[in-house]
Structure 1
Amino acid sequence: MAFKRLAQGLVGLSLLAVLSACGNSGDEADNALVVQFVPTNNDGTMEAKSEPFADYLSEKLDRDVEVTVATDYSAIVEAMDSGQVDIGIMPPAAYVQARETDGAEAILTSQLGDYDQETGLPLEGELTNTFKGEILVRTDSDIESLEDLKGKNIITLSPTSASGYIYPIAEMREVGIDPTNEVTMTTVSDIPSELSAVLSEQADAAFVFEGARNVFASFFTEDDLFEELRVLYLTEGDIPNDAIAVQPDMDADLKEEIKSVFLNMKDEEEGSEAMAIWGHQGYEEAADSAYDTIREYTEKAGQ
Structure 2
Amino acid sequence: MKFWKTLAVTGTALLAAVALTACSSKSASDKSSSKDDYTPKSLNIQFVPSSQADTIEAKAKPLEGLLKKELGIPVKVSVSTDYNSIVEAMDSKQVDVGFLPPDGYVQAHKQGAADILLQAQRFGIKQPGGLNTTKLADSYRSMVIVKKGSSIKSIKDLKGKKIAVQDVTSSAGYIWPMVELKQKGIDIAKDDTLVTVKGHDQGVMAVLNGDTDAAFVFEDARNVVKKDVPNIMTEVLPIYFTKPIPNDTIAVRTDMSKAFRTKLADAFIKIAKTKKGHAIISSVYTHEGYVHSKDSNFNIVRKYEKIANDETK
Tell whether the structures are fold-level matches, with TM greater than 0.5: yes
What is the aligned partner in structure 1 of residue 132 from structure 2? 122
In structure 2, C-alpha distance between the alignment counterparts of 1:145 and 1:117, rounded to whole Å: 17
Query: Could you report, residue by residue, the CA deviation over 1:11-68 in whole angstroms, capped at 9, with x for unpaired residues?
Result: xxxxxxxxxxxxxxxxxxx611000011223553322221211111111111100001
Q: Which residue pairs with 2:197 in the alignment? A: 188
Distance 1:101 1:214 in 2: 34
1:216-295 equivalence runs, <5 A: 216-218=225-227, 220-221=228-229, 224-235=231-242, 237-276=243-282, 277-295=284-302
Segments of 5+ residues of structure 1 without an aligned counterpart are 1-29
Deviates most, 139-148 or 225-234: 139-148
* Aligned-partner Cα distance in 2 for 1:138–1:200: 9
Paired residues for 1:1-303 under 5 Å: 31-42=41-52, 44-123=54-133, 125-218=134-227, 220-221=228-229, 224-235=231-242, 237-276=243-282, 277-302=284-309, 303=311
Cα distance 1:183–1:32, how it changes in 2: closer, same or farther (>3 A)? same
Distance 2:197 2:189 in 1: 17
Report the secondary structure of 1:298's partner residue: helix
TM-score, length basis structure 2: 0.83
- 1:137-168: CA deviation from partner (whole Å, max 9, x where unpaired): 01111212122111111110000100000000
The 3-state SS of whatever aligns with 1:159 is: coil
Aligned residues: 271
% of aligned pairs identical?
A: 37
Alpha-carbon distance, 1:263 to partner = 2.0
Q: Look up the equivalent residue of 2:271 and give its one-letter code.
A: M
**TM norm structure 1:** 0.85
Is contact 1:154–1:203 with CA below 8 Å preserved after alignment? yes
Cα–Cα, structure 1 residues 209 and 43, in superposed 2: closer, same or farther, change >3 Å? closer
Deviations 1:114-148 (A, max 9, x none): 1113332111x221110001111011112121221
Question: Which residue type is aligned with residue 129 of structure 2?
Answer: T
2 CA distance for matches of 1:189 and 1:239?
A: 20
Amino acid at match of 1:255: R
